[in-house]
Amino acid sequence: MKLTFWGVRGSIPVPEINKMKVGGNTSCVEVDLGISTRLILDAGTGIRPLGAKIAKEIAEGKVNEVIILLSHYHWDHIQGFPFFNPIFNPKFKIYIFGPAKANRKLEGLLSGQMEYDYWPVKFSQLPVNIDFYELNEGSHLFKTGLRVIAKRHIHPGTALGYRIEFGGKSFVYCTDTEHFQNQVDKRVVELSSDTGLLIHDAQYTDTEIEFRLGWGHSTWRQAVEVAKQASVKRLVLFHMDPERTDEEALGIEAEAKKEHSGVILAKEGMTIEV
C-alpha cells in the first residue's frame, strides 16, 4: 500500500507562509492499493488536489471507483468533499463509509454542509453515483479484499479509528483521539498492536493540553506512548494544531525521535510505503 498525505493539519486550513513545510490542508490521506479501487481516509481540504489527480487517473483508466472512509464528521474531515472533482463525473462510483450515529444518517451529515444557504451546488444535484455505508465497531471485509477494523475512541460526538489490512500488510489511522490524563486509551493500543505504521493525532504539547482537556485530541508524547505499547515501528505524527509553525513542528519531531526512533512528522505531499 502506498500512502500519500494530502492534508495533515487539524481543525482548520492554514495557508500561512510559516506553516507550508508541514502544509495547511486539513485531513486527507490517499491509499493506493495497487488496484483500480482507490481508498481515501477523510475528506478534509486535502481531498481537493487529490480529486484533480484522481480525475486524470480516471481518464487514463487507472481508477474506476473510490472508497472514502470518514473518521467522523467534524468540518476538518468533510469540508473538502464539495471540491472533490470526481463528484461531477456521472460515470463514476464512490462508496462512502463513516461512523453510524444514533440521531443522523451519514448522507444527511454530508449533504448538510451543501445546503443552498451554504453552497450553491446541492448534494442532490451531484451527478456521481454514491453509496453510503454506516459503520459500527468491528471487522468489515470490503469486496476488494480490503479489511477495515473499526474501533471507537474518545472524541466529542464520536469518532472511529481504523486498522486497514490489505495484501498481508496493515496500518492504523487514528486521528482526533483523546487519551486519559494518566494513561493512554487501551482500545487505541489494541487496534494498533503490531501494525506496520500508526498515523496518530499529535495536535498538542504537554502544556497546551492542560487547557484543552475534553477537546478530543492527543499530545505527541501520548502518540509515542501508544506506539511503544503497541510495538509499532513507524509512527506518523498527524493532525497538527493550526497554530503550530514549521519550526515548532520540526522541533517536536526531533524531540519525539529521541523517545521513538520511528517517528515521522506528517507533511503534505509525503508518501510512505506500507
Give min distance, CB of 120 to Zn ion, in A.
26
Indicate whether 244 belongs to the interface with Zn ion (CB under 5 A): no
In 3D, which of 191, 268, 269, 207 has the Cα closest to residue 19? 268
Which residues lie closer than 8 Å to 55 by C-beta, 6 or more apart?
Answer: 85, 86, 89
Considering only 50-58, 70-78, 116-124, 261-269, which stretch makes contact with Zn ion by CB under 5 A? 70-78
Q: Which of 5, 13, 37, 76 binds Zn ion (CB under 5 A)?
A: 76
Beta carbon nearer to Zn ion, 10 or 49:
10
Give min distance, CB of 157 to Zn ion, in A.
7
> Is residue 147 a contact partner of residue 139, using CB atoms and an 8 Å limit?
yes
d(CA 165, CA 60): 27
Give min distance, CB of 158 to Zn ion, in A.
10
Q: Which residues ranging from 8 to 27 are in contact with Zn ion (CB under 5 A)?
A: 10
Give min distance, CB of 235 to Zn ion, in A.
18
Q: Which residue has the cell 508541514?
A: 22
Site string for Zn ion, 159-198 (x = CB under 5 A): -----------------x----------------------
Give min distance, CB of 76 to Zn ion, in A.
4
Q: Which residue has the cell 467534524?
A: 74
Query: DSSP 3-state helix, strand, coil percentages of the chain (rounded to 5)?
Result: 25, 30, 45
Compute CA 111 distance to the chain's CA centroid, rounded to the nearest angstrom: 20
What DSSP string describes 174-216? Answer: E-S-B--SSS--HHHHHHHTT-SEEEEE--B-HHHHTT-TTSS
Beta carbon nearer to Zn ion, 92 or 200:
200
Give min distance, CB of 45 to Zn ion, in A.
12
Q: Give the C-alpha distances (Å, rounded to integers) separating 69 from 30, 127, 134.
A: 10, 20, 10
d(CA 90, CA 269): 29
Beta carbon nearer to Zn ion, 170 or 175:
175
Give min distance, CB of 11 to Zn ion, in A.
6
Beta carbon nearer to Zn ion, 176 or 225:
176
Q: Which of 9, 48, 74, 179 binds Zn ion (CB under 5 A)?
A: 74
Cell numbers placing 34? 495497487
Beta carbon nearer to Zn ion, 10 or 23:
10
Instruction: Name the residues that contact Zn ion, by CB under 5 A.
Output: 10, 74, 76, 176
